[in-house]
Structure 1
Amino acid sequence: MSIAITLLVLFAAFLHALWNAVVKGAGDKTMMLGLIALGHVIPGLVIVAFAPSPGWSVWPYVLASTVIHWAYYYLLNVAYRFGDLSVIYPIARGLAPVLVAVGAQFWIGETLPGIAWAGVLSVSAGIMVLTRGAFSGALPMTGLMAAMGTAVMIAAYSLVDGVGIRLSGNALGYIGWLFAAEILVAAYIFYGRMDRLRAMSAKALWLGLAGGVISGTAYGLVLYAKTLAPLGVVSALRETSVIFAAMIGVLWFGEGPKGNRLVASVIVAAGIILIGLA
């Protein structure tokens, strides 16, 4: 993988960790996720207005991804009610790269070389270091299952969008319609909860929408990278966002401990180097 693509995905990883911190720090996480989804719609509509249509053949992928994203938001919301950002986020993101790499191999025959597999596994292993204790009762079972379910949804939409954007032949058009379709997710979340939306401060509203734009930018960059590099490798690099999230958890939310975060960072860094050599 080229240095340019690697840096692109790593920047997207930082943006992804940032918007998750916004959700974790929100008082009403359900409404904040609705605003995040709505924040996707805004740039989506702008892109749709100017980019060529990706064609009807990719609409099943757009709709499938929208449904999967709805489940992703739901499970992420549940998970953050029961655990810290620095515990939930690594579980959700750490399992995904391996699932994506295996799924891509069986679905589209995308076989990674041995060194790339070593990098993917190293990234996942480093991420999972941050979850020490989560699987031995430190995290309530509901939170643990929701976090693992989130990982499955991440792998599912990563594969669907990875295939969809390649079939479209028009990355920008696919991204635009994918983001615009999230109006369905936002409408579902806001329906029957408008009193809670009105109760949010102006600062929280703008923070949620900004988080959505940041999230959309991050995912758009990742989708573009998937047109240029193997899905499993891109997914592994993207999940380095967990290291950024762990640091945010320590510095912003005062979460601990700090020691295993350093160990995880070293292991993940080794995985990134291996991926870069593949």
Structure 2
Amino acid sequence: EEQLKVARETQPYHAEKFGYDNVEFHLGLIEKLDDIESLKDGSVDIIISNCVINLCPDKEAVLKSCHRLLKPGGELYFSDVYASRRVPEELQKDEVLWGECLSGALYWNDFQNMAKRCGFKDPRLVEDAPITVENKKIQERMEAMGHKNLEFYSATYRLFQLDCLEPHCEDYGQAVIYKGTIPRFESGWALDDHHYMEKGKVFPVCGNTYNMLKETRFAQHFDFIGDFSTHYGIFDGCGTSMPFKSSQENGGVSTKGGGGCC
């Protein structure tokens, strides 16, 4: 409530500075969005979160609520912390590690399966970076518990509310052409970590990517080639291995870099 008080007190200043007065602040629990009466099912275009969901005990409830609140074609765009394996219960109960946004991290594959159960059929990784534990006391704490090899990643995901998405990337011979009309991304734009589309260039896509662009707010920025009349099999390069490119790198980077998280 104290944070909301400060936010509301400074709201007129920001409205005048940026020219918009369309912000509302509500007090509630992210796991219980049903309790906020002004939030109606299918009413939200985009939900943005930064390093909050990993601190929630019931993460599945959060994702289910977000899916319910989003309009068809809406998006949950968020950064958070993920683990290379399931975080042991003894670490989950460690208050210091929990406060550092580490012990609440989901194992990346559990997260993807959870997202799919909640209706987000094809989670898309936007960017990621390894998190190095630079606090010596925390390092020693984890080593003493026998979890020296547990790795953490800061990652940003897009989750779309689209019932038409398939479990895997299927090939229908489709392609898109980016118009270069998204502000600040005139020369090219990235949907995720493996779909960077240059302006004016024909870019082959799977059926899911086609729908993520055609059935969302991005449609006006693309020309679309093809349909779903002919299926050519699985789209080349559609895999199920650990998605974080940074997991292949040695040395890691500072927690300040990449992923937009914490």
Q: Is the structural similarity TM-score above 0.5?
A: no
- Larger radius of gyration, structure 1 or 2? 2
**Larger helix proportion, structure 1 or 2?**
1
Question: Which category of TM-score, normalised to the shorter sequence, fits these structures?
Answer: under 0.3
Structure of greater relative contact order (alpha carbons < 8 Å, 6+ residues apart) = 1
Structure 2 length normalisation: TM-score? 0.26
**Larger strand proportion, structure 1 or 2?**
2
